[in-house]
Structure 1
């Protein structure tokens, strides 16, 4: 059973690493003017179908993203990393469960693309849901609250990167100090990039609330493209995109060094 769980976990991290490596790569291309705009997760997956052996790549992505979803749900329910059961840990286990549900939707998006069906981008989904919230009583304040939560989540990414709170998951017995330091540094860079993305998504939600316009909200690709519109935007987008690319590399290496059931 442990061997199966380890296989599922490592397969998921490999697939996630590949996807976010290309998210970062496409964002780098946008920053240097090779492409018109950065891509979100679903848009990046959509691009795979146009590559050689695109169908095979999508089937692999579908299986790998589903594997990551299973792993995150197992983290939430079974706590294979032995984090404990305190209030803070239970909160993060809830986040693991919700993240697992997100990756099920990404796996399903792969299937939709393979079937030639239309899949809505995460940005459009976000706009639809923000629009539904805005028309509710106190909808503007609910969206502002969402903006605050997202920004706090972004600031937490910076905090997590600064203290390297993620390295509890490293398998120490397989790593030298040099390898651990290298992987920790990659993680700090990648997670800091996510901090920038989260804060920008929060800003987009703030704009949507203040302007009472759901189209102002957005997800990953809208946040990346909004970065480019800021002062020194090319440099900000380039640095963030590079961080996301490094995050993908971090996940690929982590797939080997990740601790499974305290092994």
Structure 2
């Protein structure tokens, strides 16, 4: 009994230390900069997508955007800074999900799950950036196809892949709904200056809708590739945008999505500064 109480006390001390660290101003600033890094990557993806719409080549996904950063002066140093920011944001989100609501009488499960999900996403982004920094980056389009093919051979792999594709499509719907309803505003401290306040709302609205469309396309390709047993069709965001271009009025649609992704990137940069604590 005494040993059990001692263990519980040690766990409480560890939780208090983790919560105190996550609430430190320096750590919060480092974590918020992770949103800015994600914003820069989305802007780069949007610019690459614009190039695709006008007939140029490029890889319009996270790997393509990171490669663009790596090619800049002091690229390796820039990548390590971006890695640190995304890793800090991942840790911040996961810490908040686990310890951040202990003093609330009835913390919302959806908020905890959202923070945990964002933590996992940014942890994955940090690892992707690190793979470029250490020179072990892989083509994300080929990796997605290979991963799909591997899962299709596993027990219940087809069911899992369809579930993953459906989950990505649902996430796309959620993003689009947040854009149309402007519910993202509750996450921000809206500026008292009318011009900047309008900018916050416009880039958020356009960005969330475009991000939702992009996720819908990615999820749809995963489902189609799985159902048709053609894993090479599961090509991630880059393949989805290139497939969009091949549709009727495709270049115009691609330009619209590209502009929206740029807007979402700008929104994330604004969020880094004005996110509600």
Q: Tell me the TM-score normalized by structure 1.
A: 0.85
Residues of 2 paired with 1:78 and 1:243: CA distance?
Answer: 35
Residues of 2 paired with 1:179 and 1:79: CA distance?
Answer: 31
- Which residue, 7, 22, 47 being the options, matches 1:25? 47
Change (3 A) 1:105 1:140: closer
1:90 maps to what in 2?
A: 109
Question: Secondary structure of the residue that 1:39 maps to in structure 2?
Answer: coil
- Which residue, 17, 37, 55 being the options, matches 1:15? 37
2:87 maps to what in 1?
A: 66
Cα RMSD, aligned residues only: 2.5
Kindly indicate whether residue 249 of structure 2 is the aligned counterpart of residue 232 of structure 1: yes
1:167 maps to what in 2?
A: 185
2:238 maps to what in 1?
A: 221
1:39 maps to what in 2?
A: 60
Kindly indicate whether residue 148 of structure 2 is the aligned counterpart of residue 130 of structure 1: yes
> C-alpha offsets along residues 31-83 of structure 1, whole Å, 9 cap, x if unaligned?
122x3134211221122222222122212212222222223223423447x99
Structure 1 segment 237-256 matched on structure 2, within 5 A: 237-256=254-273
Question: Secondary structure of the residue that 1:259 maps to in structure 2?
Answer: coil
- Which residue, 112, 131, 139 being the options, matches 1:112? 131
**Highest RCO, 1 vs 2 (Cα 8 Å, sep ≥ 6):** 1
Q: Please identify the structure whose Cα radius of gyration is greater.
A: 2
Greater CA drift, 248-257 or 235-244: 248-257
Q: CA deviation at 1:29?
A: 1.5
Residues of 1 paired with 2:241 and 2:97: CA distance?
Answer: 30
Residues of 2 paired with 1:85 and 1:97: CA distance?
Answer: 18
Change (3 A) 1:84 1:49: farther
- Which residue, 211, 215, 218 being the options, matches 1:198? 215
Instruction: Please tell me whether the aligned partners of residues 245 and 253 of structure 2 are also in contact (alpha carbons under 8 angstroms).
Output: yes
Q: Tell me the TM-score normalized by structure 2.
A: 0.81
| Structure 1 unaligned regions, length at least 5 | none
Q: CA deviation at 1:138?
A: 4.8
1:51 maps to what in 2?
A: 72
Residues of 2 paired with 1:190 and 1:83: CA distance?
Answer: 32
2:18 maps to what in 1?
A: none
> C-alpha offsets along residues 139-184 of structure 1, whole Å, 9 cap, x if unaligned?
4344333332222221121111111122112125x53455334312
Q: How many corresponding residue pairs?
A: 254
Instruction: Please tell me whether the aligned partners of residues 31 and 85 of structure 2 are also in contact (alpha carbons under 8 angstroms).
Output: no
| Structure 2 unaligned regions, length at least 5 | 1-22
